[in-house]
């Protein structure tokens, strides 16, 4: 994965997927091509937990925790792809997801009239468990039938289609959808100007 000349835009976290478990799968960019790793170091994962809204501050993250997170990410990605093809997840992927989900998750705490998430003694492990539990809920629940892959040929993000007719095609209407509409407009203009 990931070459030396990766732009900051390619390393930016994407949160257009609709679920934390799918947002974790988006920490690999350009899966169809070069596979840009966005979780290159423990510090990147700590930042992702904050950016994802799971923790208020970056927790201590070890190399081992980063490795487990990447394993979970790929197990969720493969399992979601299989669910989209009406195939059951592979047993080895289920073991990874269930093992992470079995750890104590983040606990909600009411503080000054709003909810805060408490990670206890190991907030990184608790955040990972919460993401794994989201994967269990998503892949084993009714929403599994609404899993989609972005229709853009330059995007492979998985997302949850929450549109009423369940016909959403792009991970984001503002990015991939806008690019597709602009390309279609250019094609129409070229065709009519001949």
Q: Report the run of H or E that residue 123 belongs to, with start and end.
A: helix 123-140
Within 10 Å of residue 72's Cβ, how many Cβ atoms? 24
Is the pTM value of this prediction over 0.95?
no
**Residue 107 in tokens:** 């606990």
Is 172 strand, coil or helix?
coil
Which domains, ranges and CATH numbers included, belong to the chain? Answer: 8-192 (1.10.3300.10)
pLDDT (tens place) for every residue of the chain, 194 residues total: 444 566 677 788 988 888 999 999 999 988 777 788 999 999 999 999 999 999 999 999 999 999 999 999 999 999 999 999 999 999 999 999 999 999 999 999 898 898 888 899 999 999 999 999 999 999 999 999 999 988 887 787 898 888 887 777 667 666 675 555 655 546 666 777 66
Exposure of 144 by Cβ count < 10 A (0-12 exposed, 13-18 middle, 19+ buried)?
middle
Q: Nearest-CA neighbor of 26 among 165, 142, 175?
A: 175
Cβ atoms within 10 A of the Cβ of 44, count? 17
């Amino acid at each position: 994965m990931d070459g030396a000349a990766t732009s900051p835009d390619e390393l930016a976290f994407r949160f257009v997927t609709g679920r934390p478990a799918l947002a974790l799968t988006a920490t690999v960019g350009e899966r169809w091509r070069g596979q840009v790793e966005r979780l290159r170091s423990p510090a990147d994962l700590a930042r992702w937990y904050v950016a994802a809204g799971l923790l208020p501050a970056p927790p201590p993250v070890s190399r081992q925790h980063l490795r487990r997170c990447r394993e979970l990410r790929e197990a969720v990605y493969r399992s979601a792809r299989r669910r989209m093809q009406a195939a059951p997840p592979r047993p080895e992927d289920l073991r990874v997801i269930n093992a992470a989900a079995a750890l104590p998750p983040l606990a909600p705490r009411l503080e000054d009239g709003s909810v805060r998430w408490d990670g206890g003694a190991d907030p990184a492990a608790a955040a990972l468990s919460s993401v794994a539990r989201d994967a269990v809920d998503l892949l084993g629940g009714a929403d599994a039938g609404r899993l989609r892959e972005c229709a853009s040929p330059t995007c492979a993000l998985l997302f949850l289609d929450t549109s009423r007719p369940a016909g959403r095609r792009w991970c984001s209407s503002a990015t991939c959808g806008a690019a597709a509409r602009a390309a279609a407009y250019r094609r129409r203009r070229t065709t009519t100007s001949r």
